[in-house]
Amino acid sequence: MHPTDAQLWSAALGYLLPLAIAVVAQPRWSGAVKGLLMLVVATGDGLGTAYFNGEFSGKSIVTCVLVAAVAIGVAYHTVWKPSGIAPGIERATSTGGVSAQQPRGV
């Protein structure tokens, strides 16, 4: 099976979207909340790429959303988080509260 244009665009955007997610995400948010935000962004990525590539049908939409979710997760955990870029963006755009570098008291 060869990937469609919509799937390739979904993956390409998914590679860059962790940076946009880091702008919105706050260091004090739990992993579950950040994961939910990632799924919302992946859904938007998949819907948008399927629509703008003329492949807006059931199977194509689901495939694009799944490709986007995998691409976002892999890019974040292999490139953006280890390099410190995504956590740095989160700290820089934080609206206050506990920073990611401060340990929380019990």
* Band of residue 96 on the pLDDT scale cut at 50, 70, 90: confident
Residues above pLDDT 70, as percent of the chain = 91
CB 27 within 8 A of CB 81: no
pTM (two decimals): 0.84
pLDDT of residue 64 exceeding 90 = yes
| pLDDT of res. 95 | 86
pLDDT of residue 10 exceeding 60 = yes
pLDDT digits (tens, 9 = 90+) for 32-62: 999 999 999 999 999 999 999 999 988 999 9
Six token digits for residue 60: 């194509």
Instruction: Give the residue, 95 or 22, on which the prediction is more confident.
Output: 22
Six token digits for residue 76: 């974040």
pLDDT of residue 5 exceeding 70 = yes
CA distances from 73 to 1, 28, 66, 96 (A): 23, 19, 11, 26
